[in-house]
Amino acid sequence: MQAIKRKAPNILITGTPGVGKSTLCTKLAEVTGLEWIEISKVAKDNNCLEEFDAVYNCPVLDEDKLLDGLEETMSHGGNIVDYHSSEFFPERWFDIVFVLRTDNTTLYDRLIARGYTGKKLEDNVDCEIFQTILEEAKNSYKHEIVHELNSTSPENMESNVQSICSWLQNWFSQNTQ
Ligand code: DAT
C-alpha cells in the first residue's frame, strides 16, 4: 500500500526486547527532532493494557484502542515508533522500518542485567536466534523498506544514527519543494 503524503516521514524501530531500541530512539529523537513514540509507554499511559499474561509476566495490549489513539499523530508524520512487534500497525503508517539485531550472547547478558529469568529470558533469546522480529517485519511491510541494523556496540549505534539521518535528509530532499 502506498504511504500517504506527510510533512515528515514515520520511522518504525523494531527488534527483540533488549536489542537497543530505546537507546537508539533516544539519540535519534535528540538529533532529528522527530517525536519518539514508545509504544509500551503510550499503551500504559492511555489504559491500553488489558489482563495480565502470567506466563510472560507482562500485560496484554489492546491493539485497536492503541491504534485509534495514535492515528492522528501518525497521519501528520514525523514520528519514530519503538516497539518489539510490527505486524499490527497499519502498513501505510511507515516510510521505513529498521530491525535492530544483536548476537545471542550480547542479548542474553543485557536481558539478565534487566532481571529477565526463566521462560521470558529463554523466549526472548530464541526470538533473536530465529529472527522472529525480522521475519515479522518482512511479512508486514514491503521488503525494500525493511532494513536490518547491527546494534551490538556503541560504534554500531553511532553508525545507525548516521545512516538513519542520511536517509531522513534524502527523504526531505525528495519530498519537499
Ligand atoms: P530495548 O529498548 O530494545 O529493549 P535498550 O535500548 O533498553 O533495548 O537496550 C538494552 C541495553 O543494551 C541497555 O543497557 C543499553 C544497551 N545497548 C543498547 N544498544 C547498545 C549498543 N548499540 N551498544 C552497546 N550497548 C547497547
pLDDT per position as a tens digit, 68-95: 999 999 999 999 999 999 999 999 999 9
The x, y and z cell numbers of residue 44, run together, are 500504559
Q: Is residue 1 part of a domain?
A: no
Q: Which of the four pLDDT bands, split at 50, 70 and 90, describes residue 52? A: confident
Distances in whole angstroms, Cα of residue 119 to Cα of each of 46, 94, 125: 28, 32, 10
Q: Is residue 2 part of a domain?
A: no
Q: pLDDT value at position 18?
A: 98
Q: Is residue 177 part of a domain?
A: no
Q: How far is the CA of 66 from the centre of ligand 1 (A)?
A: 25
Q: Is residue 100 part of a domain?
A: yes
What does the mean pLDDT of the chain come to? 94
Q: Which of the four pLDDT bands, split at 50, 70 and 90, describes residue 177? A: low
User: What is the extent of the structural domain holding 59?
Assistant: 14-170
Q: Give the CATH number for residue 156.
A: 3.40.50.300
The answer on pLDDT for 3 being more than 70 is no
Distance CA 65, CA 85 (A): 16
Count of domains for the chain:
1
Please list, in sequence order, all residues whose beta carbon lies within 8 angstroms of the beta carbon of residue 167, skipping any fewer than 6 positions away: 96
Q: Is residue 176 part of a domain?
A: no
Q: Is residue 4 part of a domain?
A: no
Q: How far is the CA of 101 from the centre of ligand 1 (A)?
A: 11
69 CB-contact burial (10 Å; exposed 0-12 / middle 13-18 / buried 19+): middle
The answer on pLDDT for 176 being more than 90 is no
Q: How far is the CA of 16 from the centre of ligand 1 (A)?
A: 11
Please list, in sequence order, all residues whose beta carbon lies within 8 angstroms of the beta carbon of residue 177, skipping any fewer than 6 positions away: none
Q: Is residue 55 part of a domain?
A: yes
Q: Which of the four pLDDT bands, split at 50, 70 and 90, describes residue 4? A: low
Q: Is residue 8 part of a domain?
A: no
In the three-class reduction of DSSP (H, G, I as helix; E, B as strand; rest coil), residue 50 is classed as: strand
Q: pLDDT value at position 166?
A: 98
User: Ligand 1, residues 110, 151, 155, 164: which to mutate, most atoms within 8 A of Cβ?
Assistant: 110
Owner of C-alpha cell 526463566: 118
The x, y and z cell numbers of residue 174, run together, are 525528495
DSSP code at position 153: S
